[in-house]
Structure 1
Amino acid sequence: MEITAGMVKQLRDATGVGMMDCKKALAETAGDMEAAVDWLRTRGLAKAAKKADRIAAEGLVGVATNGTTAAVVEVNSETDFVARNEQFQAIVGNVAKLALDADGDVVKLGEMPFPSSGHSVSAEITEAIAKIGENMNLRRTATVSVTDGVVESYVHSSVKPGLGKMGILVGLESTGDKAALSALGKQLAMHIAATNPLSIDPADLDPAVVARERAIILEQVKESGKSAEIAEKMVDGRMRKYFEDVTLLAQTFVIDGETKVGVAIKNAEKDVGAPIKLTKFVRFALGEGIEKAVTDFAAEVAATSGVKQN
């Protein structure tokens, strides 16, 4: 029997399962819609789909390195309990290694073959949802590479090597001593973990972010009743302070609490024996930007038990 796009869509709408799995289910059941639903359920796929609308803001950040390339991924789960599950940790570790070849493309990463499974990364996560019983999500990935130099990493709140609550990558280009360069890179990664800079320097900042910040400061200054000329100078001064706060090279290096990061890198060139250029950094903090649901636990228990609240 011919499996049409309409049939696939109907099954997807009914189960929430992905198009490819729906198509396979219909093919396996000769287009019988009810049998296809059962086929999906027996494999845990429909069960996993029912959990897909639940917020997953916990989980793990994974980091992997290979020579002059490193990758970081975030795989989310609903609870921190799952982050301590060995199966989940193994999945995140393997996904991080695969991400080295994904060029920061999360869609490409999801489609890559998962080791020793015969299916994709996305399918492996779907199977884990059914087995573990929580919604999971491959949220994002990024890579950092250098031509000649080092890419250092740091994992904060580590549960296992390369797995934790935050992952940082730092790329340093230099022809100098790689051991000294790595030591600097590790310090910079720890600094980034602590300060969360938005960019390397002001030129790399999102123009929309800069414009919004300037507009906020301008409104604050206007309320002071200062003249337009003085107000403009006040805005410029506060914007300089803003750039010092949010751009990496202008921040005070947390390692010594005195030197600007840009100066610290310049000073390190003596030990490295060559010029150093910080080319890129990535900072993934688990769950950042995800709107977490706020629930009334008492109301939830009452709803489950059928007890009305006053």
Structure 2
Amino acid sequence: MAFTAKDVQTLRQMTGCGMMDCKKALTESNGDMDKAVEYLREKGLSAAAKKADRVAAEGVVYAVADAAKKVGAIIEVNSETDFVAKNADFNAFVAQCAQIIMEQNPADVDALLACKTENGMTVEELLREKILVIGENLKIRRFVREEGTLATYIHAGGKIGVMVKFDVSDGIADKAEFVECGHDVAMQIAAINPGYLKREEVPAAVVEEEKKILEAQIQNDEKLKNKPAQVIEKMVTGRVEKFYKENCLVDQAFVKDGNMNVAQYVAKVAKDLGGKIEIESFVRFEKGEGIEKKADDFASEVASMVK
């Protein structure tokens, strides 16, 4: 029995499954809609699709680097509850995805989902399998892959992940002192959450907005607003400098020694090792950041049930 594109669309609306899955189901069932629905249910695809609408804002961030191959990856995979983040099978899946990212270099999440795993399944098929086994909506949200000399750090069991890229002299990367330095810098990023690597990267518009806020604060302060213009200008300049020291990684006070900033700490380690160490870039993921979580109101729910 033949089927049309409209039949595929109808099946999608009935089951919530993807277009290609619906097309395959109709092909396997010779266009019989009921048999196609049964096919999708047998495969577990319909159940997985129904879970896909549920908000997944928990989960883990995972970061890993292969020093020998000079490649690393940081990935966030979300679940509905924090309990799943402690599931060994879920964490093994996340680590497997990171390994695939390093090895196959997918361009984006869609490309990652299409990548093949060791057993021949695609990542998307494996993800659906995990959704059915675990019983929650799971979602690969984002990842970054880097090549070069890298350091990674995972905080609080996957709440925060960091990957830092360094430019170093030959022979430096393998030294224990550098490994410790990389770990320290990654921990700093996790703890203090700098918005930028260095002040030159801060957009001019951000600096101007900061100046406007500071000027407004001064004008609203009775003790300061009547100061001479040049004095106010110096105050604004000083506060902008403070903004840089709080928001730019290399200018931040080093958390393990407040007598130096991060740039000075890295320079000290480089000098001790007789080479060059420079921070080139960093990525910091925090689990669930920017995802709007559903606020459960149990009392209201119960009240609505007894009306």
Instruction: Provide TM-score, normalisation by structure 1.
Output: 0.87
Q: Distance in 1 between matches of 2:203 and 2:32?
A: 52
1:246-257 to 2 correspondences below 5 Å: 246-257=247-258
Alpha-carbon separation, structure 1, partners of 2:136 and 2:32: 29
How many pairs were matched up? Answer: 297
Q: Deviations over 1:212-248 (max 9, x none)?
A: 4444334334434457665544433322211110110
Any conservation in 2 of the 1:76–1:138 contact (CA below 8 Å)? yes
Q: Provide the aligned C-alpha RMSD in A.
A: 2.2
The answer to whether the 8 Å contact 1:72/1:99 transfers is: no
CA–CA separation in structure 2 for the residues paired with 1:210 and 1:137: 36
Q: 1:94 to 1:193 in 2, by over 3 A?
A: same
Match of 1:174 among 149, 165, 168: 168
Alignment of 1:62-77 (within 5 A): 62-67=62-67, 68-77=70-79
Give the deviation of 1:31 after TM superposition: 2.1
What residue number does 1:243 align with?
244
Superposed displacement of residue 113, structure 1: 1.2
Who is 2:29 aligned against?
A: 29
1:208-223 alignment runs, 5 A limit? 209-223=206-220
Q: 1:230–1:28: structure 2 CA closer, same or farther, 3 Å change rule?
A: farther
Write the distance in 1 (CA, Å) between the matches of 2:253 and 2:3: 62
Q: What does residue 102 of structure 1 align with?
A: 105
Letter of the aligned partner of 1:57 in structure 2?
A
Which consecutive residues of structure 1, in runs of 5 or more, have no partner in the other structure?
Answer: 159-163
Q: Aligned-pair distance for 1:209? A: 4.3
Distance 1:207 1:249 in 2: 18
Offset at 1:83?
Answer: 1.3
Query: What is the deviation of 1:252?
Result: 0.3
1:119/1:219 CA distance change after superposition, 3 Å: farther
Change (3 A) 1:77 1:238: same
Which deviates further from its counterpart, 174-183 or 80-89? 174-183
| AA of the residue aligned to 1:194 | A
Does structure 1 residue 79 correspond to structure 2 residue 81?
yes
For 1:15, the equivalent position in structure 2 comes to: 15
| C-alpha distance in structure 1 between counterparts of 2:43 and 2:276, whole Å | 57
Identity rate of aligned residues, in percent?
A: 42
State the AA in 2 paired with 1:250: D
Distance 2:60 2:109 in 1: 16
**What residue number does 2:140 align with?**
138
How many angstroms apart in 2 are the aligned matches of 1:274 and 1:254? 23
Cα separation, partners in 2 of 1:215 and 1:42, compared to 1, 3 Å: farther
* Alpha-carbon distance between aligned partners in 1 of 2:298 and 2:62, rounded to the nearest angstrom: 32
Contact preservation (8 Å) 1:153, 1:189: yes
Output the CA distance in 1 between the equivalents of 2:211 and 2:2.
60
In the alignment, the residues of structure 2 paired with residue 208 and residue 31 of structure 1 have an alpha-carbon distance, to the nearest angstrom, of: 58
Structure 1 runs, 4 residues or longer, greater than 6 Å off: none
Checking the alignment, whether the CA contact within 8 Å between 1:104 and 1:141 is kept in structure 2 is no
Q: Tell me, yes or no, if the aligned pair for 1:76 and 1:287 is still in contact at 8 Å.
A: yes
Q: Cα gap change, 1:236/1:11 in structure 2, threshold over 3 Å: closer, same or farther?
A: farther
Alignment match, 1:161: none
- CA 1:249–1:17 in structure 2 vs 1: closer, same or farther (change >3 Å)? same
User: What corresponds to 1:157 in structure 2?
Assistant: 156
CA distance in 1 between partners of 2:208 and 2:19 (Å): 42
Q: Which runs of 5+ in 2 are unaligned?
A: none
Tell me if the contact between 1:73 and 1:99 (Cα under 8 Å) persists in the aligned partners. Answer: no
The 3 A distance-change label for structure 1 pair 266 and 129 is: same
Tell me the residue number matched to 1:46.
Answer: 46
Give yes or no for contact 1:17–1:46 (8 Å, CA) kept in 2: yes
State how far apart, in whole Å, the 2-side matches of 1:259 and 1:33 are. 69
